[in-house]
Structure 1
């Protein structure tokens, strides 16, 4: 037990160091934060306001803009994270990745550190979407516990999709292919979720797809934690379990594939 604790602390230090290195990149390129904010703003200000006005989608008594805001937060986390593997390709080309792989740190700590670094990028957009939603009259839960849990779910979801992107990067090995596959993945994941309409409106086959889509569980958790008059359809415990198990499985797979990006 005494031996396990130092090893655990060392593993955490290695993971945190990788995450910190990823965040330093973001500090050197703050314009990226601004460009990433434009798309969710358009969804809320244009699509959300129009659909709220025409009342075309039944949302169980919620104003459509309220229903949409957590979905756009989840979408933002997805869209930022799904192209995160480009950084691994850049690290390979610049020689940084070789230094990572010859370090004594376990491969899974490298993957998890990168996933956490990618996840933190989404938190800045969460702040922007919260502010805009409040300005538009969305009924937000301001309890500190709910907000902290929402940020934790956002981080978890972003880490999951960042790890998925890293797996794709290890397989395709070029920026161009990664961008193409990322674009191929984002739309099906987004539209086969409950981000912009309830699951019960979907045809039967799409409902089945949505049940295995991790974005569905992220949206469900964010909607429950963000809105005053909303409740989870499957339970926050189920949302957390699905996202955590999926992240664990992807991390194990990414750790096995990570060295292949050099080949």
Structure 2
């Protein structure tokens, strides 16, 4: 028979003892709402990024396409001077657009993963936890942003090796990282929103393939807006990818840009995407 623990004498000032007794007689105070949401978002983001430890193949294979754009398309059009770029070598002009393109291509199929989680029963388990749906979506969106950021580093290093005159100012690079994450957050939420509507991997794959290239070509990634036909200029001005490319080009190359407008559009687009994806997330679990 074990002996009962001996309590310290009355009036003991031992803080460890006082804290232990306090936890026995009252539960710990729950986190306030404003502290809970960021913690849940960070946790979901960390869970998503843990998957990279087990399979990095996606990052390697997706680095091939932007490399081909820079090595073949960029260097060829730099030689023929077919597109007016305001005095910039075409490879320099195109490099920020390829960064945005590679980030978008990673994010736009993110909805396939959430449908797979639905089919595997993971999503239902997440939805019955106290974690708000907005935190689930936001965590996944910013995990897509971090993956895209890794891809952007690969493109930037390759562009520097090819002689693109990029800035290495830490503050500007921080702005580049922010633009990449915000743009990826929007496109991943767009994918999750479509997933909540079509509810099928095959349909989502078809829609994703149908909209990625139009989004890319209807932006200023490959050519200035001024050379587009009038109707395409209108499309470009409502395309968030155009604002992401404009911000990246201004930050990396020092070209004239509307950074305040660019980041405002990216923040609003990401917020709208998170709202829409959160609203439709429950349809996937039915």
The question of a shared fold, defined as TM-score above 0.5 by the shorter chain, is answered with yes
The structure with higher relative contact order (CA 8 Å, sep 6+) is 1
Aligned partners of 1:44 and 1:31: how far apart in 2? 21
The counterpart of 1:127, out of the listed 148, 153, 161, is 153
Q: Summarize the alignment of residues 68-147 of structure 1 with structure 2, pairs less than 5 Å apart.
A: 68-147=94-173
Indicate yes or no: 2:178 matched with 1:155. no
Task: Judge which range, 47-56 or 8-17, deviates more.
Answer: 8-17
2:265 alignment partner in structure 1: 242
1:231 alignment partner in structure 2: 256
Cα deviation code 1:183-208 (max 9, x no counterpart): 11101100000000000000000000
RMSD: 1.3
Aligned partners of 1:220 and 1:170: how far apart in 2? 30
Cα deviation code 1:132-174 (max 9, x no counterpart): 1111110001100001110111011011100000001111111
Aligned partners of 2:88 and 2:130: how far apart in 1? 52
Indicate yes or no: 2:261 matched with 1:261. no
Gaps of 5+ in 2: 1-28
Runs of 4+, deviation exceeding 6 Å: none
TM-score scaled by length of structure 1:
0.96
Aligned partners of 2:150 and 2:97: how far apart in 1? 16
1:208 alignment partner in structure 2: 234
TM-score scaled by length of structure 2:
0.88
1:188 alignment partner in structure 2: 214
Aligned partners of 2:97 and 2:187: how far apart in 1? 15
Aligned partners of 1:259 and 1:161: how far apart in 2? 19
Between Structure 1 and Structure 2, how many residues are aligned?
Answer: 258
Aligned partners of 1:247 and 1:128: how far apart in 2? 24
Q: Summarize the alignment of residues 26-37 of structure 1 with structure 2, pairs less than 5 Å apart.
A: 26-37=52-63
